[in-house]
Amino acid sequence: MQEALAIAKEKGLDLIEISSDATPPVCKIADLGKYVYDLHKKEKQSKRKQKLVIVKEMKIRPKIDEHDYQTKLNHLIRFLSRGDKTKVTIMFRGREMAHKDIGRKILDRVIENLAELSDVENPPKMEGYNMTLLLSPKRKK
């Protein structure tokens, strides 16, 4: 370690510890300012290539009318075509809980209508008074 420090001082550079966990510790002789700058530059570059995953939610009641269903379906089509994941929630109240099959039929219909645009990420399941379904846009080949 002392030899490395002496070599670094001789060259007018810094001794940078890369991995302290390894035995012996891994070090690098370089300019610390330039090293930190390059790290920040790589980090910004990797953030630029990331795509933020947005989950849009559509809430539906079990007593939904046909026109309202079509409107909600058009919104879902728009969300999926933009590349957003969508969560479809059927909200039950009171005695509607006795007719979970109606909610299941609505979600099955949504899956059938959006089959060419989406994949089912999480199948319909009950969570308290809500039945949820998670759809993700189909991957382009």
pLDDT in tens, 59-83: 999 999 999 999 999 999 999 999 8
Q: Is 4 exposed, middle or buried (0-12, 13-18, 19+ CB in 10 A)?
A: middle
Closest CA to 98 of 132, 133, 124, 126: 126
61 and 130 in a common domain: yes
Q: Which domain holds residue 59?
A: 55-137
Q: What is the pLDDT of residues 23-56, one digit of tens each?
A: 888 888 888 889 899 999 999 988 887 777 889 9
120 and 100 in a common domain: yes
Question: How remote is the C-alpha of 40 from its chain's centroid?
Answer: 24
Q: What is the pLDDT of residue 27?
A: 86
- Give the length of the chain: 141
Q: How many domains does the chain have?
A: 2
- Angle between helices 100-113 and 66-82 in degrees, nearest 10: 50
59 and 42 in a common domain: no
- More confident: 141 or 18: 18
39 and 13 in a common domain: yes
Whole-angstrom distance, CA of residue 88 vs CA of residue 92: 13
Q: What is the pLDDT of residues 79-124, one digit of tens each?
A: 999 989 999 999 999 999 998 999 999 999 999 999 999 999 999 9
Look up the CATH number of the domain holding residue 102. 3.30.110.10
64 and 44 in a common domain: no
Q: What is the pTM of this model?
A: 0.64
Look up the CATH number of the domain holding residue 43. 3.10.20.80
39 and 68 in a common domain: no
77 and 131 in a common domain: yes
73 and 23 in a common domain: no
Task: Identify the band that residue 141 occupies on the pLDDT scale cut at 50, 70 and 90.
Answer: low
- Alpha-carbon distances of 133 from 59, 70, 105, rounded to whole Å: 11, 17, 12
